[in-house]
Amino acid sequence: MTRFDGRKILITGAGGAIGELTAKMFFAEGASVILADADLAAAQHVATELNGDHRVMACRIDVGDCNSVDAVFADAEARFGPLDGVVNGAGLQEIAPAPASERWKDVLDIHLTGTFSVCRAFAGLANKHRTPASIVNLSSTATHASLPNRAAYVSAKHGLSGLTQQFALEFGAFGIRVNAVAAALRCPPERENARHMVPESDRPAETRIPLGRLATAQDVASVVLFLSSDEASFITGAVVPVDGGFSAGKLWP
């Protein structure tokens, strides 16, 4: 499939597991990809794996800093022209028993305010160009549920649903669709802090998920690509659970 031939997609958090795979999948379907991450080396690593092609750009972004966000968009546009899509994957996890959250502000700054800044910058540019475009926000099952010891993260992700739907309404006139993927927490063993990503319980996650397994990066990236594609042309304001049925109900009694 080459759904993204000639399209230009910016991905924040491109150095993370989902961001990296998403970028690779967009690239494989013909897109030029702008790999933005707080960790420039991680973004460059992904760029290298894509053979540092003329369709790839790696850059550092601090989504908590509007100047950084504006600069990245300016650089991306200067190199590739108007962008067609954005994937907001930048994130920060904090596990802390309430009310001892020391990183409340950081978690909100990155997940919620950072996404706001990126969307605002992108919409401003897209409004000038008036071409159809798409924003996909990487959210979490935490967007409509609570999780132990993650007050800041849950709050930020709840806010992210509201932001997604708000911007779907505001940007529709510019031809920008805005959606979110509410992905289940995954357990990629090769990444650091992997086990922290799964909510604590005396029952293994696999027995609490209807489809009986944890998500993979592929599970999430496939949905991000669908929402970014023309096949989703009438979908906006959707918060799509990618969670193996976790949010459909309880496996109880």
Partner 1 sequence: MAIPLKDPTVGKFVGRTVLVTGGGRGIGEACVRSFASEGASVVIADLDYDAASHVAASIGELGAARPVAVDVTKPDQVDEVLSTSAQISPIDILVNCAGILDTKPLLELDLATWRRVHAINLEGTLFACQSFARLLSATRRPGSIVNIASVVGLLALVNRSAYVSSKHAVVGLTRALALELAPAGIRVNAIAPGVIRTPMADVHFRDPAVAARVQAAHALGRPGRPEEVAAAVRFLASDDAAYLTGVILPVDGGFTCDNQM
What is the binding site for partner 1 (CB under 8 A)? 165-166, 168-169, 171-173, 177, 184, 210-212, 215-216, 219-220, 222-223, 225-226, 231-238, 240-245, 247-249, 251
* Helix axes 17-28 and 40-49, enclosed angle (nearest 10): 30
CB of 182 to partner 1, least distance (A): 10
Distant-in-sequence, close-in-space partners of 7: CB < 8 Å, separation ≥ 6: 26, 30, 31, 32, 84, 85
Please confirm, yes or no, whether 153 is among the known catalytic residues.
yes
Compute, in degrees rounded to 10, the torsion defined by CA atoms 67, 68, 72, 74. Answer: 10
CA 55 remoteness from chain centre: 21
Q: How far is the CB of 132 from partner 1 (least distance, A)?
A: 10
Q: In the complex, what is the shortest distance from the CB of residue 31 to partner 1, in angstroms, rounded to a whole number? A: 16
We find the least distance from the C-beta atom of residue 166 to partner 1, in angstroms, to be: 8
Q: Which is nearer to partner 1, 189 or 249 (CB)?
A: 249
- Would you say 161 and 153 are in contact if contact means Cβ atoms under 8 Å apart? no
Which of 23/42 has CB closer to partner 1? 23
Among candidate residues 153, 167, 171, 174, the one labeled active-site is 153
What is the C-alpha separation between 218 and 232, in angstroms, rounded? 19
Comparing CB distances to partner 1, the nearer of 6 and 245 is 245
Strand order in 32-37's β-sheet? 56-60, 32-37, 8-12, 85-88, 133-140, 176-183, 239-242
| Interaxial angle between packed helices 114-129 and 151-171, expressed in degrees from 0 to 180 and rounded to the nearest 10 | 10
Nearer to partner 1, 99 or 189 (CB): 189
- We find the least distance from the C-beta atom of residue 191 to partner 1, in angstroms, to be 18
The tokens describing 251, both together, are 């496996």
Residue closer to partner 1, measured from CB, 203 or 234: 234
Catalytic residue list: 153
